[in-house]
Structure 1
Amino acid sequence: MELKTALVTGASSGIGLAIAKMLSEEGYKVYGIGRIFPEGCDFFEQRLSLDLRDTDILLSKVSEIKRVDILVNAAGSAYYGLAEFNTPAQIKEMCRVDLEAPLILTSALLPKLKDVKGMVINIASVTSTRINTHGAAYGALKAGLRSYGRSLFEEVRKTGVRVVTVCPDLTLGTKLYRNADFKPSEEEGCYLLPEDVAECVKNIIGMREGAAVTEVEVRPQFNRIEKKKN
């Protein structure tokens, strides 16, 4: 019997890496797309070190994967601060990584996903459902990804393909806050870990065929952030 296969973007760190590891432990052959992979990632079937914005290279590489049961769009880029200070380069990067790449990958892989009644898992953000001062562009793009997922499910549900949008809140151990002047508080109960999101995804994919979770928020019990120390 052919092993099930998963393709995960943002697989070199944070939530994407945790989901990739979980899927491997669940018996999937995992292809990971990322930049620089850390040591000890020998659970991947193949690591694809590339920039999601290089569309031609991206599509060429994924076309070589014969079967895809799960596509996880987990890569993300965020720049925080007042909207007037978002540079054109920052806005372009967020647009291409947070929204353009997931749409392109999903469109390219839908025929393969339909063949096996597969699943698309989009890692959006709790910001996709909120007003986001100091993060207006990022929140808007994640809201776009959430909207896409909701519409896509209605479009493909008759084929057996499931589409899930996962909206995590403040998560430690990711690179999402590298361009921010804040980070999740490290007080107990004030943050998620990437493994928490991976566990949520594990529960969703383990549901019986015919039952579909289409959207879920994963949040820490408390809501606190910390200013980064200079």
Structure 2
Amino acid sequence: MTTPGAVALITGAGSGMGLEIARLLARDGARVVLLGRRQEALDSVADKIRAEGGTALALAADITGADDVRRALDRTRAELGPVDILVNNAGSASSVLNPQWLPHEEWRQVLEVNLTAVFQLTQAVLPDMLDRGTGTIVTVSSLAAVNPNLLGGAAYGAAKAGVRNFMTFLHNTFRNQGLRAITVLPGETDTPILDNRARPPAPEERTNMVQPEDVAEAVRLAVALPQRVVLQEIVVAPTRQRDVSADLETSRWAGAPAERTPQA
């Protein structure tokens, strides 16, 4: 069980995996801080947590902005205290998957959300954790970090590999100062991000995918174990492997100039 009263900050907490992670940690006694872009969605999650007897603070913030991150951490410290558990869950994928057509701005935006924001949030919580000799940082990467392809796209795979590397760096550098750095690598998961794919999976295709609550349970396990134990990497993959060949072919041509597509 999460240490009662621990302060857990979760990014991307307004929906999907972040929502489920926040609810589970709150049920175990953590005081959760919900970070995301949409205040209304965060308030809804906070209301659910409070209705279940938990404590939640909802803060809308742009986690790619250093000033927003600083303000969120300042308010968290003022109202709840220093962060004991940071869960970097927020993610973003590009609409163009093939690097041949990928706009530079989309590349930068995906790296900002999936990699730079994790660095900024980690940098913000590290001093308190290292001063106290204890702390847990969990980052939701992806199996795209290990096996990148056109489903997630070039930018997403590169960002998720980068953040996995960064978490391993934290583990190797600060483990003897009491820091647990944990990477969760989900396979294909039924979250709202799938709706933005070149070919969004049909409802029946999502049935056998990893569900948000499955990833939340993995995070909960990693956080709940005694501080002397770290699950450095957790792979959460669907048991059944679906045929994605049609998805890959559609993704190959998303964003391509009309004259370059097979129909041209």
Per mean C-alpha deviation after superposition, the further-off stretch among 43-52 and 114-123 is 43-52
Residue 86 of structure 2 corresponds to which residue in structure 1?
Answer: 71
67 and 129 in structure 1: CA distance in 2 versus 1, 3 angstrom threshold: same
> Which of the numbers 19, 22, 25 marks the counterpart of 2:24?
22
With 49-58 and 19-28 compared, the bigger mean Cα shift is at 49-58
Equivalent in the alignment of 1:3: 5
Distance 1:219 1:69 in 2: 28
1:55 paired with 2:72, answer no
Q: Which has the higher helix share?
A: 2
Partner of 1:166: 184
Aligned residue number for residue 259 of structure 2: none
Partner-residue secondary structure (3-state), 1:82: coil
- Which residue is equivalent to 2:196? 179
Distance 1:176 1:188 in 2: 12
Q: Is the 8 A contact 2:88 2:140 kept in 1?
A: yes
Asked if 1:120 corresponds to 2:122, the answer is no
Task: After TM superposition, list the pairs within 5 Å mapping 1:24-173 onto structure 2.
Answer: 24-36=26-38, 37=41, 39-42=44-47, 43=49, 45-64=56-75, 65=77, 66-79=81-94, 80-114=96-130, 115=132, 117-133=134-150, 135-172=153-190
Number of equivalenced pairs: 227
Q: Which runs of 5+ in 1 are unaligned?
A: none
Q: Which whole-Å CA distance do the structure 2 matches of 1:14 and 1:188 have between them?
A: 14
In structure 2, distance between residues paired with 1:208 and 1:34: 29
Q: Which moved more, 1:218-227 or 1:6-15?
A: 218-227
Give the number of the structure whose alpha-carbon radius of gyration is greater. Answer: 2
Counterparts in 2 of 1:40 and 1:159: CA distance versus 1, 3 Å: closer
Give TM-score scaled by structure 2 length: 0.79
Q: What is the aligned-residue identity percentage?
A: 33
Which stretches in structure 2 are left out of the alignment for 5+ residues? 50-54, 251-264
Kindly report the root-mean-square deviation, in angstroms, between the aligned alpha carbons of the 2 structures. 2.2
CA deviation after TM superposition for structure 1 residue 210, in Å = 1.5
1:127 is displaced (CA, Å) by 0.5
Secondary structure at the counterpart of residue 225 of structure 2: coil
What is the deviation of 1:95?
A: 1.1
Query: Which ranges of 4 or more aligned residues in structure 1 deviate by more than 6 Å?
Result: none
